[in-house]
Amino acid sequence: MKKLLAAVLAISGIATTALAADCHPAAKADCSGADLRETDFIGTDLHGIILSRANLWADDMVGVNLAGAKLDHSILYAATLKRANLAGADLRGADLTQTHLEGADLHGADLRGANLKMAQLDNADLRGADLRGASLILADIHSANLENAQLEGAQWLTRRICQIGSVGICHEGEASQRLPSSASQ
């Protein structure tokens, strides 16, 4: 199966370092735990794929279609997902630290508990996304659309916690709610 997948990906122009034995992106198979570090997925259609706990560290995924994909607890550290379609994707607990998501479509995505520290979200569409408990410390959300996004419990840019009722805008708590400096490490 691994050789078949490598052949399919090679035909698609996708170079990989290592793959889970049953991973077959073209068939939207379960690729949970796959090691796909530094892979080039530019413009690839991977909608609905299962990549739970996958390592997608520093992948180039410009314009990729991951709509409805399952990426919970995956490592997307420093990945480039500019203009990617992640609408309705499951990104619970994912590490999106320093990820480039400029112009990405994340509407309706589940980002509960995700780490978006220092992520680039300029012009990203986060309408209706669930960001409860997510970390947005030092994230660039300039011009991001947060309409109806659930922000309760999210760690905001200022290291404060968004309070109950934070929908579309973070209602920050008092100074006593500020996270310690070490929490941003």
20-29 pLDDT tens trace: 445 655 566 7
Alpha carbon distance 33, 129 (integer Å): 25
Q: Which pLDDT score is estimated for 19? A: 46
pLDDT(184) > 90: no
Q: Residue 173: its pLDDT value, please?
A: 64
Strand, coil or helix: 38: coil
> How much is the pLDDT for 142?
85
Asked if the model's pLDDT at residue 144 lies above 90, the reply is yes
Task: Kindly indicate whether the domain formed by 32-177 is annotated with CATH number 3.30.720.120.
Answer: no
Entry pTM = 0.80
Please give the single-letter amino acid code of residue 136: L
Q: Where are the domains of the chain?
A: 32-177
pLDDT in tens, 48-97: 999 999 999 999 999 999 999 999 999 999 999 999 999 999 999 999 99
The answer to whether the beta carbons of residues 138 and 118 sit under 8 Å apart is: yes
